[in-house]
Amino acid sequence: MAKYSNDLKLKGVQYYSNNYVSFKVVADKFNILSWTTVKKWVRKYEEHGLKGLVKNKVSSYSGELKKIYRIYA
C-alpha cells in the first residue's frame, strides 16, 4: 500500500475541485496508483474538511503493546 503525504492529498483534492477533471486525470498528474484513492480523498475532504485527509495516528500501536498481544495471542 502506497503512502501519500498530507500535502499531496490536499493538492490532489484542490486540483480536482478547481479544474473540473476526472479522478483519473488527478491520479495521473500526481502519480497516484489508483483513481479510486483520489475519489476517497475527495469524499473524506467533503465530509470532514482538512481533518479528513490527515492520517489518524491513534490507529498506530506501540511496539510494547504489540509484544504483549503476541504473548496472549
List pLDDT tens digits, range 55-73: 766 556 666 766 676 776 5
pLDDT of 58 reads 59
Contact between 15 and 21 (Cβ < 8 Å): yes
Low-confidence ranges of the chain (pLDDT < 70): 1-2, 56-63, 65-67, 69, 72-73
H-state helical runs in 3-62: 6-19, 23-29, 35-48
pLDDT score, position 20: 92
